[in-house]
Amino acid sequence: MKNSIITLGLMWALLSGTSLWAQSKWELQKNEDGIEVYTRQGADNNFKEIRVVCELPGTASQLVDLLKDVAHHSDWVYLNKKTELLKRKSENRLIYYTLADMPWPLTDRDMVVEAAFSPIKNNQAHVEVKSIQNFLPQKKEFIRIPSSLAVWEITPASGGNIKVDYTFKVNPGGSVPAWLVNTTVAIGPLKTFQRLRKTLVQRALAQRN
């Protein structure tokens, strides 16, 4: 049961939201491998918001290409069970379905999101991923995430790297206690960004070969 509680907290890091309107101050929770994970109290619910600040190898274009590669999100998004592209509205606007694999006896969560990518300019990019409702019928075996918002701010950094400032908020739905999620909410983002960095390196090497 202890492992289930920990895993529940980790899961929310993977569900791709942020609140720019919260009044509380960001508090550093983890700083490992050059990845800083912050949390703060949400403005509109009891779940903590997440912020990740780090440098990643490569360019804004390479990271954006990875974010658009929906079918391979499970390669790096922690606890992601399935992600499926539903509609490509344009080159820079995608709608996709994502499913989080929750530990027994908790019910798996799913959601439909729309991702909007700004044009890349001067190695800078802005990405927003927001959950949407009524696009896909709910499945009885899962709990649909009612709201989430993720924001990626990507800017140039020294040494040929990019800096990422990622913020995230979510209402998980169902009867999940906020304290349960908040106790371990910073662990999942660290795992996700560690895997994201590794995936970017692997892709860069594959392109060179």
**CA–CA gap between residue 193 and residue 74 (Å, rounded):** 13
Is residue 159 exposed (0-12), middle (13-18) or buried (19+ Cβ within 10 Å)? exposed
- pLDDT over 90, % of the chain: 63
**pLDDT band, very low/low/confident/very high, at 2 (cuts 50, 70, 90):** very low
Q: Which amino acid is at 203?
A: R
Per-residue pLDDT tens over the stretch 117-174: 999 999 999 999 999 999 999 999 899 999 999 999 999 999 989 999 999 998 877 6
- How many beta carbons lie within 10 A of that of residue 52, not counting itself? 22
Quick one: pLDDT at residue 152? 98
CB 117 within 8 A of CB 125: yes
Angle of helix 60-68 versus helix 187-208 axis, rounded to 10: 110
CATH code, domain carrying 102: 3.30.530.20
Q: Domain total for the chain?
A: 1
Name the DSSP letter for residue 203: H
State the residue range of the domain holding 148.
2-208
pTM above 0.75, yes or no: yes
Is residue 179 exposed (0-12), middle (13-18) or buried (19+ Cβ within 10 Å)? exposed
Quick one: pLDDT at residue 3? 45
Q: Which of 15-19, 51-55, 71-75, 195-199 comes out lowest in average pLDDT? A: 15-19
pLDDT averaged over the chain? 84
Report the DSSP beta bridge partners of residue 149. Answer: 130, 169
Per-residue pLDDT tens over the stretch 12-34: 444 433 334 435 899 999 999 99
Would the pLDDT of 52 be above 80? yes
Quick one: pLDDT at residue 98? 96
**CA–CA gap between residue 80 and residue 146 (Å, rounded):** 18
Per-residue pLDDT tens over the stretch 102-111: 766 678 889 9
Q: Which segments of the chain does DSSP mark as H helices, in order?
A: 2-11, 60-68, 178-182, 187-208
